[in-house]
Amino acid sequence: MNRAPLLADRAVVITGIGAVTPLGNDFDSIADALLAGRSGVVEIDGAGFSREARQFAAPVAAIPTVATDSDNASDNAFDRLGQICLAASSAAAADAGLGDLRGSGPAARARIGLVLGIGAEQLKGWEADFLAGGGQVFSPDRPASLVHRIAARLGIQGPAVTVAAACASSGYALALARRWIATGLVDVCLAGGCDILSPTGFAAFYNLRALSRRSDHPSRASRPFDRERDGFVMGEGGAVLVLESRRHADARGARVRGELAGVGMSGDASHMVIPGDDPTEAARAIHLALQSAGVQPADLDYVNAHAAGTPVGDVAEAAAIRLALGTATDHVPASSTKSMSGHLVSGAASFEAIACLAAIDRQAIPPTLNLDSPDERCRLDHVPHVARPHPVTVTASNSFGFGGANLCLVIRRAA
């Protein structure tokens, strides 16, 4: 290792969690569901979504309402994607004890940032308008970008941007927020991402043969690492985390849920949805994350795998993990929580960061459901069917986005 980790008082910690997901809308509900092996995959009305007679997905059951005031009397400018992002962002701020940001002074609001990983935001908004019988699909009268509407709604006046890196989008958002805090650009940053079920998404992934076509039972459809896997199950929702420096968190007496200790990124574009044959670049993202956190492969207690259940992707990731961790691979538990949540696409990485925090909090590894016959090409220390009690201090979470956006986050228990 040639790079020392951030000093303790400069460490970037997680002080708030906001979520809207198929497994619940708060940390404890999500952690309970993950450790109980509870699936959020159900049968949905496939009209407008798929050619299949039966369509399985993991939708959000209910979106929490965000309180309004006289200056924001209505949230009618927010479509479903916007409502989910707003609810998760607002809940994260509240969970971090930030209070009503609109009541803070201008100087404080200017030191708070917002980064959201959202893929195809405008397309999904236009799609909803079009399907609802609206006018022009590309209307010049659509409101400002979602991230800026949310920032205005919450009273955030620091930098606010959207990033898009396919399935790694919300992880890239967390990585960017961590850098903003480490360099002193902001004191606090809300970061994460969300996604929704949409006809365009279903059609695209169906035609690319990336979706599972199983029709036996919803909870059996998502099968990461299993020999009988045939694609992923679409999920909906996401999560937003509040990041800040350890020094800032301690100064305001904030509860610290964990540390975002390391980030690694790489790119290996080869195909729209099929990963390349060479695992080198994906492994490099894992190696860089460990390096930036100042930990060795043997220090890891859990790997939350990206593994979505695609025939090629799971094999490629297993090879990348083995290349990055070496002999430690056989002793580090790995699982895919997408077997329960479905694939939240843009919101997957931030949701799976919560899975890592749940493993740390509960000292147990979430299972991979439906792992009846592990693929011999995916040689990992699997956790099939039921959670495994295990000491957990340091975790890694992989997100390998379609098109070659590779990301790994190292999340550990805060000192």
| Identified catalytic residue from 248, 287, 306, 382 | 306
Q: Residue 362 in 3-state DSSP?
A: helix
Active site residue 167: yes
pLDDT digit string (tens) for 323-377? 999 999 999 999 999 999 999 999 999 999 999 999 999 999 999 999 999 999 9
Domain 12-251: CATH class, spelled out: alpha beta
pLDDT at 76: 55
Q: Of residues 248, 287, 343, 382, which has the active-site annotation?
A: 343
Q: Could you tell me the pTM of the whole model?
A: 0.92
Q: Which residues contact 318 (CB under 8 A, 6 or more apart)?
A: 225, 307, 377, 378, 379, 380
pLDDT higher than threshold 90 for residue 169: yes
In the set 85, 167, 356, 378, the catalytic residue is: 167
Taking alpha carbons only, the member of 238, 183, 264 closest to residue 12 is: 183
Per-residue pLDDT at 38? 98
Residue 343 designated active-site: yes
136: exposed, middle or buried (C-beta count within 10 Å: 0-12, 13-18, 19+)?
A: exposed
| pLDDT of residue 73 exceeding 50 | no
- 354 sits in which H/E element: helix 348-362
E strands present in 73-219:
112-117, 160-163, 188-195
| Superfamily holding 263-412 | Thiolase/Chalcone synthase (3.40.47.10)
Told to judge if 306 belongs to the known catalytic residues of this protein, a careful annotator would answer yes
Q: What are the residue boundaries of the structural domains of the chain, listed by start?
A: 12-251, 263-412
* CB 370, CB 278: distance < 8 Å: no
Q: What is the mean pLDDT of the chain?
A: 90
Q: Does 263-412 match 12-251 at the fold level?
A: yes
Task: Please name which of 347, 349, 303 lies closest in space to residue 324, comparing C-alpha atoms.
Answer: 303
